[in-house]
Structure 1
Amino acid sequence: GPFEVWDNLGVKESLPEIEKAGFTIPANVKRMVEKGGTTFYRIQNGKKQFWDFASDSYKDVPYSPDMVFLANIKADKAKVVLSNSDCSLVDIGNDVFCFEFHTKMNALGGKIIEMVPQSIDFIRKNGAGLVIGNEAGGMPPAFSAGGDLKYMLSLAKNKDFTGIDNFIKDTHATMKMIKYSSIPVVAAPFGLALGGGCEVCLWSDKIVAHNELYMALVEVGAGLVPAGGGCVQMWKRMSEAVVPQTDWLNVFLAAFKAIAMPMPSMSAQEARNKGFLRAQDRIVFNRDFLIGEAKKEVLKMAEEGYVPPVAMPIKVFGQDAMGALDANIPDMLAGYQIAPHISTVVRRVGYVISGGTAFKGEAISEDAMLKLEREMFVDCWKTEGSQKMAEHMATKGKPLFI
């Protein structure tokens, strides 16, 4: 708000410049400075306070005990139990910890991938469960706008495809740890939850989302296949309710369109309609309550005796799916739904979610499908077209259709 902006500029320091510009300083503000007030808001002993003009003193901002504010908690440095330049693990009370991103646009990079296993190991020994959330601002704010494209692009330009492959192996191991560790993990997304940010949510035990949620797997727009397990998780979500094999083509096409022709949800309810949120996932309308409500879900699962899920074989549509896809791609090109290079990317998406060379109805392991995802991701980076698309996205912030 305007008073926070004024705080950042420096209230006392800015007064001479304001008067020099011909504006009148409000008497209340002058008195605040005279009485020793330096900012309109401050954090004191872990609590947010405001300057009260009536009493000429700071008072605590009243808020519900169900609200959890990381900025307030982190005022006590002892509450930050693990940290690096990209992320922190914060003790938010009751043996629950919050994993917080703090990169530009909260993009996921190597330091975050490394810190997640360390955090889960710490909580196994010292806590009950984990919330993945943050308090990013902006219009719209970014829970996470995706992966670190510039890092991957630098590897690709140096032809270090082994480095890319190893990074995705580490990413998959981290995502599986989120899903299958002995502690409950709840994601608390809001605003932009794109690409890797979306995938973190898909691997979590539960999602507690703010109503303003722009969620999608957008990697195809950068010339890439989702490679944080997004292909695997979307296929599982779309197919787990399907019993008769005759329905599989429609399920395959729905999963394919969700990944290959992404349109971010315009709300959490639309994200549910698109398959990103499940029936057990919750929607919160006041963002001030988001981390607190996610914390409640962690405690509830822990109190009920949380047992991690078991990785089950995944039934796939198999080679028949690729036949259907290959029959549709020429029409998609002719209708300008996709561009020529993007057609090669979306075909790789189809190859992953169909199970590769598997047969119709065959059950393959989750690891086998993740391996397909990793291989197709690396293959994309080997092409000049995908490198151009990724570089355009990284530098211009919008897709290049080639």
Structure 2
Amino acid sequence: MLKQPRAVWAVAFACVIAFMGIGLVDPILKSIASQLDATPSQVSLMFTSYMAIMGIAMLVTGVVSSRIGAKRTLLSGLVLIIIFAALAGASDSVSAIVAFRAGWGLGNALFVATALATIVMSAKGSTGQAIILFEAALGIGIASGPLIGGVLGEQSWRAPFFGVSVLMVIALVGTAVFLPSTPPTGRRTSLADPFKALTHKPLLVVAVTAIFYNIGFFTILAAGPFALPELGIIQIGWVYFGWGLLVAFVSVVVAPIVQRAIGTVPAILATLVLFTADLAIMGIFADHPTVVIVGIIASGAFIGSNNTLITEAVMGAAPVERPVASAAYSFVRFTGGAVGPYVALRLFGSEAAPHVHAPFWFGAIMVAIGVAVLAAGARTVAATTHHEETEQQEAEAVLVGDLD
């Protein structure tokens, strides 16, 4: 799996930088709220605008890449991230940062959806191994984002935004140099294709499950820092660094083992149940910082497992091109990413009179609904994932036979 073309590593490195943007603002949320005189719910809009535009833009990623090619789409996304991250760092109000984070989300949409399809198509080995590479890049980016945000945020809340912009320039150069030209191939997709893909019940079930799962995911990101008022910027950065390390480790090492042992759908259900319990415990003991810290870090294991398992389920859940399936799934799931932070921090209230338990209970209830949705459609989804797993096992058996 590690013997990949340079193009795959170049795109994977760019993915690491792109996913830094998700957790980068966590350590500086309280600092931005304080210095720009904003409420927690106003600050949460930095997540909401980013994820909402990212989800909507996912609908056009296939349309764009099928007309200008994967490489140009990737480079366009990177350029947008460079520009809007720098503009966010230069802003003087929360509303301006929220607006520029939306532009950042557009760039991320063009890049991320195309990057997953590019890695799957370019990597050596099975689709599952390619997805693990992608999820490893995601995990490393998510892990390093809060730490870099904390280190740079100690100097100024603006520094993390400028830092991402500089790192993205490096990613842009690497992608431009190492990724071969990728002219458009196959048919040109339309805006209607992702919606048509969602008419396939297995994909729809997984996507709706992902809405509620992502609400819990981004509740952890948004509400966690405000539930730890005594921690400084760098300390919050370390907490989310530990969380991100678990995301990376479990997505790459543990999730495939669990998947082989009990199957994709049972593994997703078990992980979601554990994630629900984790959020519920944080809801009960939200006024105990140690419990919140342990709960945040532990959630990385459940998020890492689900990221890998659900992505694999999506790739086999509908008889459509992988970029179309990815766009449809991402459009739906990022709805959860947009809703979660805003509602969670509205429930939190203000730092002067916080309702610290409410966001975590909200997250737990939402993930529990996701469990119910997947359980109801488990047979339908399991039929498609079982077919994918059988094909992969047969391919590996043929390879082993050839080697023998």
Structure 1 and Structure 2 fold alike (TM over 0.5):
no
Structure with higher helix content = 2
Structure with higher strand content = 1
Greater C-alpha radius of gyration:
1
| TM-score, with structure 1 as normaliser | 0.28
| TM-score, with structure 2 as normaliser | 0.28
